[in-house]
Amino acid sequence: LGPTVDVGSLVSQGCRPIGQPLVVTKAERNIVYELGGQPAYDRLMEIAKAGLTEDEVRMVNEGLFMGLVIDEHQLEFGPGDFLVRNVMGFDPENGAIAVNDIVDVGTTAQFHVRDATTADEELRRLLAGQEADAALVFTCNGRGKRLFGTPHHDADLVDVALDGAPAAGLFCQGEFGPVGGRNFVHGFTASIALLKGS
């Protein structure tokens, strides 16, 4: 792009937490056996029994995620502090939960669900006040009409936020972008490069 183009970036993961953050106390590679000293599956069931709303139960059934804290040196965790990963499965007998990433003992984790309202609000918040001469929009093929019920949701938000600046992009099945100041490969995200001439 050249030295006269500044590139900014943002990633909308589109998920919100359920339950409370817990420390991973036993894990091997991508299998989480214990959260807070208890079987991980039992912790998930505690959250379910604590009173998920009907919408949250539906979202869990459509796809459960585990957020892994990127920077443990904080007192509280909020949006943008978690790297969100798919829960691939679980074993109620041994209490294990499989996640699509390596999970280290000592990591703070929290279950997440994905929903259109959260994804919309997060992307609007990330785009608020941004200025760019152009944008590159890389959005997961699991977003768009599948998530929002209408096509071009993310592109339309970028168009409005950047006051019609040119934008190009594509649908992906895996997106690159920074969360917590580090780059990762993601799923179900909108990863946007904001281009501004200097």
pLDDT tens sequence across 49-67: 887 888 888 888 888 999 9
Produce one character per residue of 104-141: b if its CB has 16 or more CB atoms within 10 Å, e if not. Answer: eeebbbbbbbbbeebbbebbeebbeebebeebbbbbbe
pTM of the model: 0.90
Q: How confident is the model at residue 38 (pLDDT cuts 50, 70, 90)?
A: very high
Rounded CA-CA distance 198/27 in Å is 47
Contact present, 190 and 154 (Cβ < 8 Å): yes
**pLDDT digits 0-9 by tens, 96-143:** 999 999 999 999 999 999 989 999 999 999 999 999 999 999 999 989
**CA 3, CA 123: separation in Å to the nearest integer?**
28
| Domains of the chain by residue range | 5-14+117-197, 15-114
The topology under which CATH files domain 15-114 is Elongation Factor Tu (Ef-tu); domain 3 (2.40.30)
Beta bridge partners of 194: 8, 135
Return the CA Rg of the chain. 18
- Which is more confidently placed, 98 or 145? 98
Please state which of the four CATH numbers 3.10.20, 3.30.1330, 3.40.50, 3.30.70 is assigned to the domain occupying 5-14+117-197.
Answer: 3.30.1330
Six token digits for residue 164: 């019609």
